[in-house]
C-alpha cells in the first residue's frame, strides 16, 4: 500500500537544502519516511478541528467486486486512491460517484458504502475526522448500517462486506491547545493531499522549514517545535504519543528531544497538483527547507 520507503539521512537532506540557498539551516540526525498517498482533491471542504475527537488513518485494499457494506461516518472522510477505481455510494441523494487512481474524495458525514467496481484490486489511503475514542476502525470493522432512506432498488440492498483489508492504521485524539484550538482545515478542490509516515531518531531536527497546512497523528515518542513568537524563541509546543494536532502553513523547526523514536503520520493539504514524485519529491512539494532562522529566533541544531 505504501508507495515508497526512503531513509533520509542528514547527508542527503543537506544536499537538497544547500541547493536552495546558503542561509538555510539543514536537518540533522536520522529520519525515515514512507509515502502513503498523493492525490488530487475532487471536492473541497471546511473541516473543524474538534478537541478530544479522534483522527484515524488507514491504508485499505478491496478486492474486485468487494465492498465495505453501508457504514456510518460521524465526520468528514478523505479517501485518496492509489490504485484501481473506487465507487462511493450514499450521502445526499444517495449518489454514486467514481474516483480513479490519483484522485481523492472528500466526503461529509453520513452513511456510505465503498466498492471496487473495477477489474483490479482497489487501494486507497483513508483519513477520518470526528471519530469516537476506541471505535471500530472505519470502513473495516464494526456493524454495518441500513441503506439511507433515499436509496432504492439495487443500491438499497448494498453489498455484504467482503474483500476489504486494512494494511495499517493509527488513531489519536486532537489536543485543544496551540494551533488546534478552534481551528478549521480548509481542503481545496484541485490541490493535492499528501500523506506520509515519519520515524525520527532521538536528537533529530528538521532545521527551519515552512510547510503546507497539515494534520498529524502521533504514534510514538514526542515531538517539540521551536518558533519565533513575540520577539523570542517559543519552545512550549510539544506533542506526545496518542495526540493529534493541526498546523496551518507556517515556519518553524521540529525536534525530537526525547529518548525514543518519534513516529507520526502527517497529512498535508493544499499541495500544488502534480503526479506523485519519486524520491524526496513529494516531501519537497509539501515543505520548503530553504528557510533561514528568523532574526528573533536564531537557534540552530
Q: d(Cα 46, Cα 69) in Å, to the nearest integer? A: 27
pLDDT for the residue 154: 63
Give the C-alpha distances (Å, rounded to integers) separating 129 from 52, 116, 278.
11, 23, 29
| Range with lowest mean pLDDT among 175-189, 261-275, 287-301 | 287-301
Q: Which domains are assigned to the chain?
A: 4-40+175-288 (2.60.120.10), 56-171 (2.60.120.10)
Residue 208 has pLDDT above 50, yes or no: yes
Residue 30 has pLDDT above 60, yes or no: yes
Residue 158 has pLDDT above 70, yes or no: no
pLDDT in tens, 276-292: 999 899 999 999 999 88
Q: d(Cα 278, Cα 186) in Å, to the nearest integer? A: 27
pLDDT in tens, 43-87: 999 999 999 999 999 999 999 999 999 999 999 999 999 999 999
pLDDT for the residue 155: 64
pLDDT for the residue 21: 43
Query: What is the pLDDT confidence band of residue 11, given thresholds at 50, 70 and 90?
Result: very low
Q: d(Cα 78, Cα 68) in Å, to the nearest integer? A: 16
| Range with lowest mean pLDDT among 116-120, 123-127, 132-136, 296-300 | 296-300
pLDDT in tens, 51-60: 999 999 999 9
pLDDT for the residue 27: 92
pLDDT for the residue 298: 79
Angle at 125 between CA 145 and CA 35, to 5 degrees: 165
pTM of the entire predicted model: 0.92
CA 36 distance to own-chain centroid: 9
Mean pLDDT across the stretch 209-233? 95
Mean pLDDT across the stretch 177-205? 97
10 Å CB burial of residue 278 (0-12, 13-18, 19+) is exposed
pLDDT in tens, 106-127: 999 999 999 999 999 999 999 9
CA 224 distance to own-chain centroid: 19
Amino acid at each position: 500500500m505504501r508507495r515508497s520507503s526512503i531513509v533520509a539521512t542528514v547527508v542527503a537532506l543537506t544536499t537538497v537544502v544547500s541547493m536552495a540557498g546558503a542561509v538555510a539551516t539543514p536537518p540533522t540526525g536520522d529520519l525515515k519516511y514512507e509515502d502513503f498517498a498523493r492525490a488530487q482533491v475532487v471536492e473541497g471542504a471546511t473541516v473543524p478541528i474538534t478537541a478530544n475527537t479522534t483522527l484515524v488513518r488507514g491504508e485499505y485494499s478491496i478486492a474486485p467486486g468487494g465492498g465495505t457494506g453501508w457504514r456510518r461516518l460521524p465526520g468528514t472522510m478523505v479517501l485518496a486512491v492509489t490504485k484501481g477505481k473506487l465507487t462511493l455510494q450514499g450521502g445526499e441523494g444517495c449518489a454514486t460517484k467514481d474516483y480513479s487512481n490519483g484522485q481523492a474524495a472528500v466526503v461529509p458525514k453520513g452513511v456510505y458504502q465503498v466498492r471496487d467496481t473495477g477489474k483490479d484490486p482497489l487501494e486507497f489511503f483513508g483519513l477520518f475526522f470526528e471519530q469516537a475514542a476506541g471505535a471500530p476502525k472505519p470502513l473495516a470493522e464494526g456493524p454495518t448500517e441500513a441503506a439511507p432512506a433515499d436509496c432504492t432498488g439495487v443500491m438499497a440492498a448494498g453489498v455484504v462486506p467482503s474483500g476489504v483489508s486494512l494494511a495499517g492504521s493509527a488513531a489519536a485524539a486532537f489536543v485543544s491547545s496551540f494551533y488546534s484550538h478552534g481551528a478549521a482545515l480548509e481542503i481545496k478542490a484541485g490541490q493535492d493531499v499528501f500523506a506520509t509516515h515519519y520515524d525520527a531518531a532521538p536528537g533529530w531536527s528538521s532545521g527551519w522549514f515552512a510547510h503546507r497546512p497539515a494534520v498529524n497523528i502521533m504514534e510514538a515518542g514526542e515531538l517539540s517545535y521551536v518558533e519565533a513568537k513575540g520577539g523570542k524563541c517559543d519552545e512550549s509546543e510539544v506533542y506526545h504519543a496518542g495526540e493529534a494536532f493541526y498546523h496551518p502553513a507556517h515556519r518553524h523547526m521540529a525536534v525530537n528531544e526525547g529518548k525514543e523514536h518519534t513516529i507520526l503520520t502527517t497529512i498535508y493539504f493544499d499541495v500544488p497538483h502534480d503526479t506523485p514524485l519519486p524520491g524526496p519529491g513529494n516531501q519537497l512539494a509539501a515543505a520548503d527547507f530553504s528557510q533561514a532562522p528568523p532574526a528573533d529566533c536564531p537557534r540552530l541544531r
